Amino acid sequence: MDVYRIFSDYFNQFQPGLGILAGALLKRLDEGHMCLDLKTLDDDHPEEALPAGILLPGPYVSHDPSALKPFIVYLGNLYFQRYFLYETNIEQKIRQLIAEGSKLRNQRIRELEPLQPLIKELFKENAEAFRPALLGNFCIITGGPGAGKTTLAREVLRVLYARQPDLKVALAAPTGKAAARINESMTVLRQQIPGLPMASTIHRLLGSVNGSIFFRHDEENPMNHDITIVDEASMIDGALMAKLLNATSPEKRLILLGDKDQLASIEAGSVFGDLCKTEGTGSVLDGHVIRLTKSHRFDADKGIGLFSRSVLAGDSDCIVRTMDHPDDALSIDTTYDDKLFHEFAVMYRDYITEPDIATALEKIGKIRVLCAIREGEHGVYQTNRRIAGYLCSLKLPIEPSAGFYHNQPVMVTSNMYALKVFNGDVGIIRRDPLDPGNRLYAWFPGPDGNLMRILPGYLTHWETVFAMTINKSQGSEFENVLVLLPDNKDVRILTRELLYTAVTRGQKRVLVQAPQDVLEETVRKRISRVSGLANRLKA
């Protein structure tokens, strides 16, 4: 079914030629763009000409940003009205936060003067570089894996708590898994400051309303925190970013942490990346973005560090160099060698043979296969079946079936607040030896460190997770990673950002399986999403 043609035909009923605009815009939205650059319209329908005057103001198209019309033309871009409002809210709220922070800057400098010894101790010789996080109301901290983003956020909180012991803090991330990682990084600080709250998902922070796209906290009912810190902000789409900013009072603080080079959000918008690119170009964001460039996890001159840096630079020759000179940390297999695949898959034996469930959960968190796609020979579904079948052939206590089965690793794919499990949480299906009926249960690590036991039937959104998509892996780290790309270089989602994200999920060892031409083309291609934020945020 060609949904774009159907959508186009619908709008053509009202105005001839309007459907060309509608279909092209819907297609761009599905590709992750916030809007349609009108200069590229001919790329969608080269055989069709737009009727004269179709873009002039009329019943369906407006050039007035405040008009309630289906389509808005603004600064050379065409928007659906809803997405135009999302982008408008993002721009206006950032401007307000920055303006209010500027008014308080001198006062905050005076208030922090007695804390200069602590600031110098925490930030060493780079104290000046981190002033935006201490003095402003809006700040972005960006850097690659291991660059120290959450460490910096922790140090900022130490200073602010020293100045204001009753500071009200909110910590959040797009997924439950990412929120759990913030909690881990804040463990030491939480021992010093028992009042530091646990991190939550953004949806929970804003107060999800069942069956609605709206939240309890919004512009009319903003959050009451003095400072909100959000990790993995590159995963936040345009709609959610607008709602987060709407719920943040201009006189409060908001700090966004993320890797600008990672994959953008699955839904429309690459807001975090757009904001980072805008800074330094004569924008209101100038001086409000902290860039951390040194990785404390990877050696920049070899292995994962060198390869990921080369990928980001678009250096496709790095594929051949890595093939010719593999090391213990990173290697490439261009033949889909079964032996290498099985050597990787057999590492799952450790969690299966581990009798202690908490330890088994830790062990399964050390290994993961990351796929670019879901369908096909090298997609998530078939790879999960392939690994389960192989482990079964080794006579391990695992019997794959269509539903739940003993020792099955599962990932929650939607927030289930009543069960206290969230999108991205990974658990194990295992029989409880103390249960008289020997029933299967889903076991998850709980927020208090204790195990949670859930009857599997209550899990309404889940999938087996020997393998997962690269998109879903954002916010996670694994000691051992196998990156599996399809054998077709024309797959649209294959980009350098995808490969970079996948490879940098690995902490110790990464194996990439994909044909050489696919890898080289992947490195050449990059994500390019259209939005109007850069122009809107000019000073």
Give the 3-state DSSP-derived string for 63-81, with helices as H, strands as E and coil as C. Answer: CCCCCCCCEEEECCEEEEH
Q: Which two tokens stand for residue 459?
A: 């899990």
Task: Quote the distance between the C-alpha of residue 52 and its chain's center.
Answer: 42
Residue that has been written with the tokens 């969690």 in this structure: 351
Burial of 465: CB neighbours in 10 Å, binned 0-12, 13-18, 19+: buried
**Exposed/middle/buried for 447, CB within 10 Å: 0-12, 13-18, 19+?**
middle
CB 186 within 8 A of CB 171: yes
pLDDT (tens, 9 = 90+) of the chain, 539 residues, equals 688 888 888 988 888 888 888 999 999 999 999 999 988 876 655 556 677 778 888 889 999 888 889 999 999 999 999 999 999 999 999 999 999 999 999 999 999 999 999 998 888 867 777 899 999 999 999 998 888 899 999 999 999 999 999 999 999 998 877 888 898 899 999 999 988 999 988 988 998 887 778 899 999 999 999 999 999 999 999 999 999 999 999 999 999 999 999 988 888 889 999 999 998 889 999 999 999 988 778 777 788 989 999 999 999 999 999 898 888 899 999 999 999 999 999 999 999 999 999 999 999 999 999 999 999 999 999 999 999 999 999 999 998 988 999 999 999 988 787 888 888 889 999 998 788 788 999 999 876 678 999 999 999 999 999 999 999 998 888 999 999 999 999 998 999 999 999 999 999 999 999 999 999 999 999 988 899 998 899 87
Q: How far apart are CA 397 and CA 383, in angstroms?
A: 19
Sign, CA torsion 99/104/109/114: negative
Report the pLDDT value the prediction gives residue 49, as an integer from 0 to 100: 67
| Amino acid making up residue 301 | D
Tell me what pLDDT residue 46 has: 53
Phi-psi region of 287 (alpha: psi -120 to 50; beta: other; left: phi over 0): left
Two structure tokens written together for 398: 């695992």
pTM of the shown model:
0.90
> Which uninterrupted H or E stretch holds 331?
strand 330-333
What's the pLDDT score for residue 145? 87
> Which helix (H) or strand (E) element contains residue 440?
strand 440-445
Q: How far is CA 430 from CA 39, 71, 354, 398, in A?
A: 56, 52, 11, 10
Q: Are the C-beta atoms of residues 393 and 500 closer than 8 Å to each other?
A: no
Q: Which residues contact 53 (CB under 8 A, 6 or more apart)?
A: none
Look at residue 349 in the predicted model and tell me its pLDDT: 96
Residues 152 and 400: beta-carbon distance below 8 Å:
no
